[in-house]
Amino acid sequence: MSEQEKTESVVTPQPPAEPQPPAEQINTVSTILQRQWVERRRRPDWVMRSVTVVALIGWTGPIIAFILLERARPEGAGFFSGLFDITVLNPWNSSLLRWAFVSIVSSLIVTSVGMFINTKRKRRKTDRFNRLLIVLGAFSIVLIVFFLANYAKYMHM
């Protein structure tokens, strides 16, 4: 064997070296998590979906209140009795007015619970605050103020 064959058989070619990251990034947890983290959840979890259901259930309170308010109205009270200042002999049904007020307050309580759950469970970037709850909460507060301003004198509490 010649000298050239001995040196060729001993030296094996090395693969090109990969570029090394800077020394402060070699073993940090954040770089490992950034490389491996993939969002696998495609839709909201059951708690966030239940917040929407709670908001829809909360809307039944004002609907029930409007129905009860219509039923509690005196028989003769209408457009013309208000227009011509005609006195109505039948009073408002105070028990139905109380139940209408209770349904509005219960709607506000349900909304408050839904908002509390929604604020505690906002974990992902895609989680949003439920707009139905905001609108229902504001609507319930306005209804309570309106109800107390106009119908409290008929409730006989």
pLDDT digits (tens, 9 = 90+) for 6-57: 555 555 667 666 666 555 555 555 555 555 556 566 666 677 778 888 888 9
Q: What is the mean pLDDT of residues 122-150?
A: 84
Question: Would residue 89 count as lying in a domain?
Answer: yes
Neighbours of 121 (CB within 10 A): 15
Question: Would residue 34 count as lying in a domain?
Answer: no
Question: Would residue 32 count as lying in a domain?
Answer: no
Of residues 38 and 143, more confidence is placed in: 143
Provide the number of structural domains found in the chain: 1
Q: Could you give phi then psi for residue 37, rounded to 5 degrees?
A: -75, 125
DSSP 25: G
The amino acid sitting at 149 is A
Q: Is the pLDDT of residue 58 over 70?
A: yes
Question: Would residue 16 count as lying in a domain?
Answer: no
By the 8 A CB rule, do 110 and 58 touch?
yes
3-state DSSP call for residue 12? coil
Q: Is the pLDDT of residue 145 over 60?
A: yes
The radius of gyration of the chain from alpha carbons, rounded to an integer in Å, stands at: 35
Average pLDDT of the residues of the chain:
77
Question: Would residue 37 count as lying in a domain?
Answer: no
Of residues 22 and 138, more confidence is placed in: 138
Per the structure, the complete domain to which residue 69 belongs is given by 46-155
Question: Would residue 126 count as lying in a domain?
Answer: yes
Question: Would residue 5 count as lying in a domain?
Answer: no
* CA separation for the pair 77, 89 (Å, rounded): 9
